[in-house]
Amino acid sequence: MQSRMARPGSERIIFPLDVPALDQALPWVERLRDAVGVFKLGLELWAAAGPEAARRVRAATRAGLFLDLKLHDIPATVEGAARALRPLGPAMLTVHTSGGKAMLEAAVRGAGPDLCVLGVTRLTSLEASIDEVAELARLARESGCGGVVCSGAEARAVRSAVGPELRVICPGVRPAGGDAGDQVRVVTPSAAIAAGADYIVVGRPIRDAADPVAAAAAIAAEVSRALAS
C-alpha cells in the first residue's frame, strides 16, 4: 500500500483526514502520501463528501484507506452498509462493539473477505477500565472481526485478549510532551507499538507541526526503533 519511497515505520502510521471539505483533504493526501501508511476518513469528511471522498483519496495515493464510520445499528442495516462500502476499496472499516455480537457478525458478513472490520472498544475521549476494553476486544474476536480499536493504555491487555492474528489500532497517540487535546487516554508512539499496536493514529502532532512531513518522519523513526527493540 505504501510507495517505494516510504520511510521505515511509516506504514504503521494512520493519518486522519479530519477536515470539513474534500478540497482541504486532498492537499494533505498529496503532502503525506509517502510519509504515512494509511489515510483515515472519518465522519466529518464523510458527511461533507461521502463516497466521492473515498474514491478521490484512493486515486491520489497508494496508501491504504480506512473508513472510520463507527457503524452502529440493527444487524441488517449494518450488514447492508458494509456491503455497500466494499466497492470503494477500503482496507479497514470501524463498527462499535457495543452494538453486540449479532451486529458485529453482520458487519463481517457484509464486509466480505477483503475488508477488515475493526471493533471499536471505548473511545479515547472517555474513561474506561482495562477489563472492560479487553472484554469488548474478545467480543470482536469471537464475532469474526479482523481487528480492534483501543487506546495504547489498553493495547497490551487487548493483545493478550485477542492473540497475535487480529490487528490492534491505537488512536490518541501523542509524542512525548505533546498536547493531549480532547483525548483522555494517550500514549507515545513507541509505547503503543511496544504494547502490541499494529497501527497508530496520529493527527494533530503531524497536522499542526511547522513541517508535517518532518513530524511524520520523526514519528516513523520512533516506531521503527520500537519495532526493533
**What is the grid cell recorded at 223?**
516506531
Phi first, then psi, for residue 132 (nearest 5°) are -65, -45
Cβ atoms of residues 33 and 59 within 8 Å: no
Catalytic annotation, pick one of 31, 55, 70, 109: 70
Which residues, 6+ apart, have CB-to-CB distance to 81 below 8 Å? 69, 71, 73, 110
Dihedral of CA 130/132/136/139: which sign?
positive
State in Å, rounded, how far the first CA of the chain is from the last one.
25
Dig out the grid coordinates for 182 from the structure: 480532547
Would you call 101 a catalytic residue per the annotation?
Answer: no
Residues serving a catalytic function are 70
